Structures are given as C-alpha cells and as structure tokens.
Amino acid sequence: MGKRSTGLRALIRVVDGLNNTVGTAVSWLALFLVLVQFLLVLMRYVFGVASLFVQESLVYAHGTLFMLAAGYTLLTNGHVRVDVFYRPASAIGKAKVDLFGSLLLLLPFCICIFWASFDYVVESWRILEGSRETSGIQGVFLLKTVIWAFAILVALQGISLGAKAWLTLTGRAPADEFYPEMSIVEQELGHPAQGQ
C-alpha cells in the first residue's frame, strides 16, 4: 500500500468520523423538535400562553438538524437517488459515478453555496443579527453560519466519496470495501431501498 493510498485512507477515516460524530450529535434535535412542538401545543391550547422564544427554537433546531446532518446522510448513502443506472451498476460503475459526480457536481455546488452565502453570513456577524422580535432568539447570525457548516461538511464528505471511488478504480481497495452489495440504509431496512 503506497503513501498516497495510506493518506487517502486516513483522510477518509477523519472525514467519515467527523460527519458521523456531527450527524449523531444533531440527530438528537429530532427528539427536541417533537418535544418542543408538543410543549407549544400544550402551552397554547391548554394553558393559553405562547412563547416566541420557544417557537423560534423550532426554526433553529430544524435548520441546524437538516443542514448539519447532510454530510452524515451522504456518508450513510441516505440521500435519495433518482438514478436507474446507479443501483444495478457494478462497484466499478458506481465508483465512476461517485468520482465524477463528486468532482463535477457536488464540490462545485458546495463551493457556490459557500461563496454565495459569504457576504450574507459575514454581514449577519458584523451586526450580530438577532430576531426581529425582542422576545425572540438573538442568534440569527449563528443560524446563518450553519450554511457554511453545511457547505464544508458536505464538501468534505464529497472528497471522501471521491477518494473511496479513486481507491476502488485504481485497484488500491477491493471493490466491495466501499461498494458493498447493499448500502447501509438498505442493510438496516433489510431490503433494497426504493428510488435509489
């Protein structure tokens, strides 16, 4: 195994570990969303009170969950693929799609998202933007920063995906190491996922 191969494997481990950690941590926000939504309904319809702060916390939790878990979803092959060619393809065919898709589509998309949101996020930090309501959460600048985190985490996972594809295509990794017969999501479901 060459130095490049070892370096790529180390990069894959670090990126996959990062997105796994972030994805696992933010997944708890799903429980938070359910509990807080229940609390809001209870407060409003049983006790007749409302809290803008609690209501805005749902927006923060929802945005954070879906933006920060995107890299984890890519890691676990959980994004829906509307591709009739990918699922039945061989490991080599899938590796080609992943390599070119990562380099030509995913990474440019992430760069565009980061670049397009740069001034938007910087300006929000400059004024420490908060809620328009005085009783709301005064951390809009933090929520907007999640856009950058999304772009970075997904881009890193795209690099990891491309590295796995490269190792497979160059024969430095067995075809089934990164491209098993079924994805992780399919294994958990016990059958091939529909629409992938």
Model confidence pLDDT, tens digit, residues 69-78? 999 999 998 8
- Give this prediction's pTM: 0.86
Domain-located, residue 157: yes
Residue 52: predicted pLDDT: 92
Domain-located, residue 84: no
What's the whole-number mean pLDDT along residues 51-56? Answer: 93
What's the whole-number mean pLDDT along residues 97-107? Answer: 95
Query: Which range marks the domain in which residue 106 is found?
Result: 3-77+90-171
Give the H/E segment covering residue 186.
helix 184-189
Domain-located, residue 178: no
Query: Does 158 score more than 90 pLDDT?
Result: yes
Domain-located, residue 125: yes
Helix (H/G/I), strand (E/B), else coil: 132: coil
Which of 63, 25, 32 has the alpha carbon at shortest distance from 143?
63
Domain-located, residue 163: yes
Number of compact structural domains in the chain: 1
